[in-house]
Structures are given as structure tokens and as C-alpha cells.
Amino acid sequence: MRFGFFLSVLAHVAIVMAAVVTLPSMFDGAEEFQMLPVEILEIGSETNVRAAALKIAEAPEPEPVKEEEPKFAEAPPPPPPPAMNEPVADDAMPALAKASDPKPKPKKAEKTSVKNTMPRRKPKPPAPQSKDELDLGELQALLDKAPKDEPKPQPQQSDDALDSLDDFLAEDQADLPRRAIGLGDGLTISEVDALRQEMQKCWRPPTGAANPEELIVELRIFLKEDGSLVRAPRIERSGTSTFGKNSFTMAAEEAARRAVVMCAPYDFLPADKYERWKEVTVTFDPASMVGY
Amino acid sequence: MRISAPARAEEPLHIVIDQGKVEPLPIALPGFIGKSQAERDTGTNIAKVISDDLERSGLFRALDPRSFIERSMDFDTLPRFNDWRIINTEALVTGQAVIQDDGRLRVEFRLWDVVRNQQLRGKKYYTTPENWRRIAHLVSDEIYTRLTGETGYFDTRVVFVQESGSKIARRKRLAIMDQDGANVSFLTDGFDMALTPRFSPTAQEVTYLSYFNNKPRVYLLNIESGQQEVVGDFPGMTFAPRFSPDGGKIIMSLDTRGNSDIYVMDLRNRRQTRLTEHPAIDTAPSYAPDSRAISFESDRSGRQQLYVMRSDGTDIRRISWGEGRYATPVWSPRGDLIAFTKMLRGRFYIGVMRPDGDPKTERLLTESFLDEGPTWAPNGRVLMFFRQTPNRRDGSGGTVRLWSVDLTGYNLREVPTLGDASDPAWSPLIK
């Protein structure tokens, strides 16, 4: 009983002492805390805006029937009745209306409407550099030892300022407005991320597939300055299956192409960096989506 | 390794998309057109069944026909793609139904990618007019396969145990229906209790368990002819029969003097082979689709767990290592997963795991008072099982119904049946 009493007193004294020692330092710490202003930018609200109209009509699409289906002038005679009333499947389909069909073709209508309603947007010329800003000419001069080993740019590419190193090194052009080069002209992480977000909004990955690693599709897309597609996306790589192409790889390819076409135009990309995004390779990798 | 931004100015920008939207694909299915009223009615019915099939898969969202802009469609002209894109559909199915002079029904359809202005698929079918539902399922399979890459599973049937009567005098008879619950018919009369039906993967045959003189026996039933026979004449009781992938063998458990082991019987020569020999209860065997391995459940470790062995009975390995008890392993027709029933703290779960037993691959898809008896759709993508929902505190009463779930764990749905139903067995694609 007495031992317990002393133990209790000692414990209380220890708690009070600890409070006396630690509490002031805690308050000191709080006073020394400095507020660091952080600017929160919602890139999504600017870059995830969907375009008012799709521009896929400008991409040259093959005639549907020609690509997929054999043409038939008339329906073939029906086969004899099957046993057990089983339906008979037949791939043969009658041809669609020919070009001479009096009805106007939707494709033509789309082309006209797109041209009328979606004026081509010119890229803004880059603003002249102020003296406080990074001098790319100087930076390039510092870095020019490394590129000497590289093959010189071809003369026919001289219209592209990015490829003409000599032009940039010339003194009389040092202060002129120019397109950026090197790391400085690359898209920022936010801009690349905005493009990625836009495309993933339109992509339905093949979920639940047995071998998702075989369904990776890489597309090469070519963009106009207004962010629309120059032509249909080109498949660079797909279907790593050892069994070759199958229905899974075909569906994966189409899902990827549909995503790119559906989300175009990518008109939020910075016009002054057009050279960096006029050609983009996109890898669609469903591996992490398998559990969905 | 893939990069997100170019290291050199000459290389094109490279981005990696590894996240997408897990939403059903919007699809428009206007009623199939026809000249006569009978053709139009058939066309409307076919489009409705296709629409229901695709929606039930959870991978498609059929748009409300009232939202369609283009209404008068000619089957042989291009759709106005702009009109379909405006309503945010990505795929369009057009079709027509024609009753020919010889009385047969001709159904044609085209599947369109309205984003890329392309026809993806086009087919036509002939049958008798009353067989229109089957055509609708075949068209659903074509659309599903073309857009997802998976083999379809709509032109399939399900055998199950139809239950009726009180708990004391429960009547259990085999019934068969289309996978969507239509066309129900009975296969047994209900005088003898029928349990655990299993479809042959290659033929319209079912093996099941029935009691004869109070002794459980494995039977073989031909669905088309109605013929049935006892499988083998074993000294003890036989349980849990299941076909081999080639349909030539039946694997089951045989109980002699209170010890249950796995046996396989060749249906051609009726020769039987014992595969396990252990004092524990070994049961619920299921072949891998390549026939090289067999999964089964056993209590040899002290409680019910899942095991895998070679098809000759050697190299037995335990694969379930989580909490609780595991039962009824069923190998996926795709080979990549094993479905099972799990019991943990009074709850039942349907789950899947990889056959190598990696505990990280175990995924529980459903949970309830009683979920049991998973069966795979022939494409290995969807599971069906039965669920008891009691209405009394002691766990009795209530209903027993069939449910389906996608292997991703999404899209849990009840399968419509007339009254109580249990023990579903999914057929292969009808040939």
C-alpha cells in the first residue's frame, strides 16, 4: 500500500517534470515555423477540356466494306435447311451502297463541316527573350562540344530551327526570337501529363485479360498545329504474343486507336512547342489494369 | 524501360498510358429492320436480346433508343456516323430480319466503329423463325468477341438443380436453360434427388450425382436424347464427378470404408485408376484445360485446403495458404486461374487464385451468408455460383438463387430462375 503510494507520487512528479521541460520547446518550435507559399495549379481544368467537335473525318479512312467484307452483287442463294433447326452463320454480306448511291456520303459532309467550323489555329510566335531569361545561344555554345560527334543536320531540314545548330550559334541571330532547343523547349511534366490524362480518359483497356503483357500497343500519331490528327494513328508495335495476332491483340489495337481518335484534337498543347509534339509515340499498357 | 519524355530533340515525344477508364463501352442497337410487321417484330426482339446479353456482361452499355438521331436506316447504306458520335456511342449494330419465301428466317447484321467510321463485322444467319433467340445470342457473341477479344459465351446453356418443396421434403431435379434464363426445361423427374451436375466440355452431356436406394451414384446424361446411365459399378459411394477437358474421362471421388480418394474413369473402356491414396478426405477434383494437372480439395493438413497434382496423381502441392477453409476448386477453361469457395469466420466467399499457389494472387470476388459452387463460362471470364439468403436467424429458409460475377469482381448479378436454384454448370459453346 505504502509502496504503491510512493510509486504514484513519483510517477506524477515525473509527468510534471517532463511537461515543464518539453512544452516550452514545443511552443518555441511552433513560433519558428515559417509559412511557405505554395501555388496550386489545377492543370486539369485547362487541359482536360474536350473539344467541341471531333476532327477525325480528315484522317483518311479506308472504305469500310473494302477493308473488311467481301462484296456481293446479290445475296447468295440460301443453303439447305440445317438439321435440328440450327442457325447457319455466313460471313458473306451484301455490298453496301455504291459510290453512285444518290445519298450523299457522310464522309464528304464531315469534311466540309469541319473545314467551316474549325478554323486552323496558328501557333503563336515565341516572344523575344528578355535579358533576364536564359540565353539559349550561350547555353548551346557551352554544350556544343558534345554534339560535335553527332552527324550534322541535313541542309534540307534548315527550315526547322531546331535542327540548325549553326544558325543558333551565329552572333547576329543571338538576340532574335527563335524556337527553343534542347531541354528548354521540351514540354513540361505538366504538359506531358495533361496529354497523358486526356488520352487515358478515352482508353478502355482490355481488363481481365489472361496475359495483359501481350496486349501492349504502341501507336505513332502525327498532329497538326491545332492539335488534330494528320492521319489515322499508325501501329508501331503490338501483339507480342508468341502465337501471333489474335482476337485479343486486334481488340487491344482498336481500343488504343479509338482512344487517340476520340480524344482529338489535343488543342491544349502549347503552340510554341509544336515541334516537340507534332509527332508522338504512345504506349498503351494494360498490365496494371488487369485486376479491374 | 519506357520513358515519358524524349532524351534527344530528334526523338518524338513518347508517353505511356497505363491507366484507362473502367466503364462499359456505349453501344447503340436500333431494332433490326424488316419489311413486314412479323419481320419488324422479330428484328425488335433480336435487338433486345442482344442488348440484354451485352449489358449483362458488364462490358457494354446499350444506349436508350429514344436518344437515336438517325432512325430510318437502310441496312445496305453507310450509317451517318456523325449522328451516332453526337450521342456518344462508340459502336453501332445495324441489322435486318427477312422471312424468305421458303419460310426460313434470314438475319443479317453489321457492327460499326463509329469513332473510326469502319465496319468491324458483318454476318448473316438462316434458321427457322422460332429459333430467333439463338441467332440473337450468336450475334451477341460476334460483337463481344470483336470488341473485347474474348470468346463470347452467350450462345451457351446452364444446367442447374431446381429446388422446390419444404426443407424436409425437398425436391431437387435437374433443369436446363439458356445462359440468360430463357427456355427452361427439366432433365430429370425429381423422384430421385439430383446433385452436382457438370457439363461435358465437348458434347451436350452432363454427369451428375443421384441417389439410388439411398446410395449416391454418378450418372451420365445425354441432353439431346435424354438417355442416362450409371458411370461404373463401384463398391462404395461416388461423389463430385467432373469431365476431363477432352470429355473422354470422368474424374470423381470414391468413398470406401469412410475414406475418400480421387479416381479417374476412362469412358471408352470403363477402366478406373486411383490417383490419391491418403487417409484424409480427398474430393472435388477438377482438370486443368491442358489435362496435365488436377486440382482438388483435401483435409490432409487438418482442415480443408486446395491442392494441385499431376494428372497421374504425383507431385501433390498445396496451393491455398490464406485464412479459413477452401473448397470446390474449379480450373478456368483459360487455364490461368482456379476458382474456389472459401469459408472464413462464418462467411462464404467465391474467389480466384493462380494455380501456382502464390498467396498474392488470391482475389475474393463475392461474400455472403452462403456462396458456393462456382462454374466458369466457357471463355473463362465469368463465374456463376449459387447464393442462399436465409430469412431466419438459424440460417434456414429464404431463397437459393443463381448469381454471376465477372472475374474482375465487378458486375455481380442474379440470374433469373423460376424459384430456388443451385449447383449451376455452364455448358461449352453450343455447336
Residue of chain B minimizing CA distance to A184: B9
pLDDT, position B251: 93
B32 or A52, higher pLDDT: B32
- Provide the residue range defining the domain that includes A146: 136-181
Residue-wise pLDDT tens digits, B363-394: 999 999 999 999 999 999 999 999 999 887 77
- Assigned domain for A203 exists: yes
pLDDT, position A273: 87
CA distance B132 to chain A (A): 9
Asked whether residue A174 falls in the same domain as residue A213, the answer is no
- Assigned domain for A239 exists: yes
CA distance B144 to chain A (A): 10
- Assigned domain for A46 exists: no
A178 or B55, higher pLDDT: B55
Domain end position, chosen among A181, A199, A234: A181
- Assigned domain for A250 exists: yes
Amino acid at site A47: T
CATH number at residue A239: 3.30.1150.10
A38 or B165, higher pLDDT: B165
- Assigned domain for A248 exists: yes
Determine contact: A279 vs chain B, CB below 8 A: yes
Which residues in chain A land under pLDDT 70?
1, 23-185, 239-245, 289-292
For residues A277 and A223, what is the distance between their CA atoms, to the nearest angstrom? 7
**B79 contacts on A by Cβ (under 8 Å):** 106
Number of neighbouring beta carbons within 10 Å of residue B21: 15
| Mean pLDDT value across residues B146-173 | 89
Q: Is the pLDDT of residue B359 over 90?
A: no
| A69/B408 CB distance under 8 A | no
Contact assessment for residue B323 and residue B315, using Cβ atoms and an 8 Å cutoff: no
Note if the bond before A265 is cis, omega within 30 degrees: yes
Any residues with CB less than 8 A from the CB of A159 and at least 6 apart, and which?
none
DSSP SS3 for A217: strand
pLDDT, position B233: 66
Sheet arrangement for strand B259-266: B237-243, B249-256, B259-266, B272-274
Asked whether residue A147 falls in the same domain as residue A219, the answer is no
Asked whether residue A234 falls in the same domain as residue A260, the answer is yes
Least confident of A132-146, B22-36, B254-268, B347-361: A132-146
pLDDT, position B94: 94
| B9/A185 CB distance under 8 A | yes
Asked whether residue A252 falls in the same domain as residue A170, the answer is no
**A95 contacts on B by Cβ (under 8 Å):** 76
| B74/A97 CB distance under 8 A | yes
A42 or B94, higher pLDDT: B94
- The angle subtended at Cα A103 by Cα A99 and Cα A106, nearest 5°, is 80
Asked whether residue A210 falls in the same domain as residue A275, the answer is yes
| A85/B127 CB distance under 8 A | yes
Asked whether residue A193 falls in the same domain as residue A274, the answer is yes
Polymer length in residues for chain B: 431
Report the residue from A187, A207, A261 with minimal CB separation from B116: A261
Q: Is the pLDDT of residue B42 over 70?
A: yes
CA distance A192 to chain B (A): 8
Q: Is the pLDDT of residue B26 over 70?
A: yes
Any residues with CB less than 8 A from the CB of A212 and at least 6 apart, and which?
A206, A286, A287, A289, A290
Domain end position, chosen among A162, A181, A200: A181
Residue of chain B minimizing CA distance to A89: B125
C-alpha cell at B122: 458483318
The rounded radius of gyration (Å) of the Cα atoms in chain B is 24
Contact assessment for residue B285 and residue B308, using Cβ atoms and an 8 Å cutoff: no
pLDDT, position B230: 85
Asked whether residue A156 falls in the same domain as residue A227, the answer is no
Determine contact: B12 vs chain A, CB below 8 A: yes
Structure confidence at residue B335 as a pLDDT band (50, 70, 90): very high
B170 or B111, higher pLDDT: B111
Domain end position, chosen among A148, A181, A214: A181
B191 or B287, higher pLDDT: B287
Asked whether residue A158 falls in the same domain as residue A194, the answer is no
Asked whether residue A197 falls in the same domain as residue A276, the answer is yes
| A292/B408 CB distance under 8 A | yes
Asked whether residue A195 falls in the same domain as residue A258, the answer is yes
Q: Point out which residues pair with A197 in neighbouring strands.
A: none
Chain B, window 240-279: residues with a beta carbon less than 8 angstroms from a chain A beta carbon: none
Helix axes A247-263, A189-202, angle to 10 degrees: 120
- The CA–CA distances, whole Å, from B273 to B267, B314, B426 equal 12, 13, 27
Domain count within chain A: 2
Phi and psi torsions of A140, nearest 5°? -65, -40
Helix (H) / strand (E) containing A44:
helix A43-47
| A282/B14 CB distance under 8 A | yes
CA distance A126 to chain B (A): 18
B78 or A290, higher pLDDT: B78
Q: Is the pLDDT of residue B137 over 90?
A: yes
Residue-wise pLDDT tens digits, B229-288: 888 667 777 888 899 999 899 999 988 878 899 999 998 888 889 999 999 999 999 999
Asked whether residue A160 falls in the same domain as residue A211, the answer is no
**A208 contacts on B by Cβ (under 8 Å):** 381, 406-408
- Assigned domain for A33 exists: no
Residue of chain B minimizing CA distance to A188: B5
Q: Map out the domains of chain B with their CATH numbers.
A: 25-148 (3.40.50.10070), 157-426 (2.120.10.30)
Determine contact: A4 vs chain B, CB below 8 A: no
Residue-wise pLDDT tens digits, B194-243: 888 999 887 788 999 888 777 788 888 998 888 888 886 677 778 888 99
* Start-to-end C-alpha separation, chain A: 63
Report the residue from B79, B125, B335 with minimal CB separation from A87: B125
| Mean pLDDT value across residues B320-348 | 94
pLDDT, position A243: 52
Average pLDDT over chain B reads: 90
- Assigned domain for A87 exists: no
For residues B211 and B217, what is the distance between their CA atoms, to the nearest angstrom? 6
Q: Is the ipTM of this complex over 0.85?
A: no
CA distance B114 to chain A (A): 9
Least confident of A202-206, B26-30, B64-68, B133-137: A202-206
Asked whether residue A218 falls in the same domain as residue A246, the answer is yes
| B116/A287 CB distance under 8 A | no
| Mean pLDDT value across residues B10-30 | 87
| A68/B23 CB distance under 8 A | no
- Assigned domain for A169 exists: yes
| B126/A257 CB distance under 8 A | no
CB pairs under 8 A between A and B: 224
| A247/B150 CB distance under 8 A | yes
Determine contact: A258 vs chain B, CB below 8 A: yes
Amino acid at site A140: Q
